[in-house]
Structure 1
Amino acid sequence: MTTHVMLDLETMGNGSNAPIVSIGAVVFNPATGELGADFEIVVSLNSSAYYGEVDASTVIWWLQQSEEARHIFAKDTKTCTLKDALQELNGWLADIDRVKNLQVWGNGSGFDNVILANAFKAVRIKPNFSHWNDRDVRTIVEMGRSILGIDPKTTFTRQGVHHSALDDAKFQAQYVSAIWQSFIVPTPVEVKA
């Protein structure tokens, strides 16, 4: 049995060692689109930057985002260290399913999952997911566009705050599920006389 988890990170960089400032994740069933348990945590930038590489262009990009998205940097927002955040994520994943059953989806084969794996390595914690079960959102979106001629990423109405890790994870799970379901719906075969 497979358990699908959609992951989204908000970071202060775009490289493989970008400092993580928030983590959002949601369990989902791509065959039905149903969303399940979710997880969200905000990471102290001071803690995360110690282990990562801050990118100036990303900092400038964040300054241009909505007030709701930038709330994770507000003085009154509860944050934790990177190590504590990853331990909490690990505990949440362990409660959901066994390591071998978890398929963790990230947006880009070289982004979310890679950054998260590098963060685990930096704080010397073994993640409760395996790299061989990484799944890529951008690949399935391209398959939907190129093979099926659909693009729910751009046609679905988005709920929540843009660049909220949890809201982004939920939206990604919704459009990945729509593409997945389009692949499994039987297509009528045209019979030629």
Structure 2
Amino acid sequence: MMKTHVMIDLETMGNGNHAAIVSIGAVVFNPSNGELGADFEEVVSLNSSAYYGDIDASTVAWWVNQSEEARSIFLKDTPKSTLKDALNELNQWLADLGEPKELCLWGNGKDFDNVILANAFKACRIRPNFVHWNDLDVRTIVRMGRDILGINPKETLVREGVHHSALDDAKFQAQYVSVIWERFTQVQLSCAQAGLVEGVNS
């Protein structure tokens, strides 16, 4: 069964598993060629997310030192949703992409984006349209690219968009994950052609 790959990025007011979410970004991508598809972005009211999640002082201080563009999500005039509304919107967007078992959700770190998002759904008593066994970790594939392939596109690719914009970060993560994925595919093909492996998985 073909999977739909979705890159998730959260901006939060903490770094724990129950951090308060202030924005959600997501983009569909094809890791075989880096092509980006449909995307999603929602800014969340801090008053709402703080009711369900944790805020820590070090993250608040960190946000103070970020760019005006990144901090624009906190401005009074920036449209914001409650956490429940944002999660329901994301859930519908994911449902439009496919059944939970068809979606692979990528996030940064085995205990950050995907775990925080799942905990937010649980806190709001909303059943998410994804399953934890399809979680994939950006940091793991970056380490594999660096240590096995000798490449680090996270550092070498030209970055576009605003740093710490959830959607822009998600798009960039999708791009450098795809570079590593493509390189592994090329290695596999080379091994198959050399008779070192029996075949290539589709």
TM range (shorter): over 0.9
SS of the residue corresponding to residue 187 of structure 1 reads helix
- 1:115 aligns with 116
- 1:151 aligns with 152
CA displacement, residues 110-150 of structure 1 (integer Å, 9 cap, x when unaligned): 00000000000000000000000000000000000000000
Distance in structure 2 (CA, Å) of the matches to 1:5 and 1:78 = 24
- 2:47 aligns with 46
SS of the residue corresponding to residue 90 of structure 1 reads helix
- 1:161 aligns with 162
Distance in structure 1 (CA, Å) of the matches to 2:98 and 2:180 = 24
Distance in structure 1 (CA, Å) of the matches to 2:13 and 2:157 = 27
Percent pairwise identity: 74
Select the residue among 178, 187, 191 that pairs with 2:190.
187
Correspondence 1:4-153 to 2 at 5 A: 4-153=5-154
Task: Give the 4+ runs in structure 1 shifted more than 3 A.
Answer: 187-190
Distance in structure 1 (CA, Å) of the matches to 2:166 and 2:81 = 16
Distance in structure 2 (CA, Å) of the matches to 1:9 and 1:30 = 20
How far does residue 98 in structure 1 lie from its aligned partner after superposition? 1.0
How far does residue 96 in structure 1 lie from its aligned partner after superposition? 0.8
Distance in structure 1 (CA, Å) of the matches to 2:157 and 2:33 = 16
- The TM-score, its normalising length taken from structure 1, stands at 0.97
Amino acid at match of 1:5: V
**Unmatched 5+ stretches in structure 1:** none
How far does residue 91 in structure 1 lie from its aligned partner after superposition? 0.2
**Unmatched 5+ stretches in structure 2:** 195-202
Amino acid at match of 2:178: S
Distance in structure 1 (CA, Å) of the matches to 2:53 and 2:24 = 15
Distance in structure 2 (CA, Å) of the matches to 1:155 and 1:109 = 24
Aligned length: 191
- The TM-score, its normalising length taken from structure 2, stands at 0.93
How far does residue 83 in structure 1 lie from its aligned partner after superposition? 0.3
Amino acid at match of 1:82: L
How far does residue 97 in structure 1 lie from its aligned partner after superposition? 1.1
How far does residue 187 in structure 1 lie from its aligned partner after superposition? 3.2
Amino acid at match of 2:108: N
